[in-house]
A and B are shown apart, each in its own frame.
Chain A
C-alpha cells in the first residue's frame, strides 16, 4: 500500500508569489490534515479536510488555504508569500475523521527568498 505522497519535495519561491502544494493520501483514507513545521515553532496545525469539507482550521492567516478533491487528494495554497513562510509543510492522512492515527507524508520543503 503506497504511503502519503507529497509533491513537490522542494520548492523555492520569491516573496509575494503564491504556491500550491499537493498531498495524495493513503488509498481509502478520507481525512487529510496539513501542518507547518519550523525550527522555532515546531509542528503547527493548519487545517483538516474530510469529504471535501474543511472541518477544522488552525491559527494561520487567510493567505493559507486548502481544498480537497473527490478522490481525497488535497492541495494547500499560500498566497503573497513571506520570508517567514519558509518551512517544511507536512500533510497527514487518516482513515476517517474520527480516526486519530495519522500517517505523515515526507513533506514539501518551501524556501521563500
Chain B
C-alpha cells in the first residue's frame, strides 16, 4: 500500500520567515495531494491541494509543489504569522474501490514565534 513520509516533525520559525514541509509517497498511482491544517483542539481543514497533472499551485502565502518523478511534494508558507502555528498534514490519495483512499503523513508541528 501507499506510504507517506513527512518531514520535519517539528518546525520552529520566526515571524516573517518562510516554512517548508516536505512529503514523499511510494505509490505512483497516487494522483491527488491535499494539505490540511489542524489548530490545537480543532478539526483538520483543507488549506491547499494539488493534482498529479500540475507541478505547482499557489494561494496567497501558501504554495504546494509536486515532483511526480521523485514522488515528493512540498508545502511552502511565506511571511509566516503566529496564526500559522498548527499541525500540518500532507496526504496522498489513489483511486480504489470507486473512491479515493487517503494515506496521511504523521504531521508537522509548525511554531511561529512573534
Which A residues are closer than 8 A to B by beta carbons?
A: 4, 31, 33, 35, 41-45, 48, 50, 55-56, 58-59, 90, 97-98, 100-107
22 A–B contacts from the bound complex (CB under 8 Å):
A35-B104, A42-B105, A43-B44, A43-B104, A43-B107, A48-B101, A50-B99, A55-B97, A55-B99, A56-B97, A56-B99, A56-B101, A59-B1, A97-B98, A97-B100, A100-B34, A100-B49, A100-B93, A104-B43, A104-B44, A106-B42, A106-B43
Residues of B within 8 A of A55 (CB): 97-99
Bound together, the chains give a CA A102 to CA B99 distance in angstroms of 12
Number of A-B contacts (CB under 8 A): 58
Interface SS of chain B: helix, strand, loop or mixed?
Answer: strand
Bound together, the chains give a CA A101 to CA B39 distance in angstroms of 19
B100 touches A100 (CB 8 A): yes
A100 touches B32 (CB 8 A): yes
User: How many B residues touch the partner, as a band?
Assistant: 20 to 34
Known: A31-B99, A42-B89, A97-B98. A90 touches B44 (CB 8 A): yes
Within 8 A of A (CB), among B54-108: 89, 91, 93, 96-107
- How many Å from the CB of A26 to the closest CB on chain B? 13
Bound together, the chains give a CA A106 to CA B41 distance in angstroms of 8
Bound together, the chains give a CA A4 to CA B42 distance in angstroms of 13
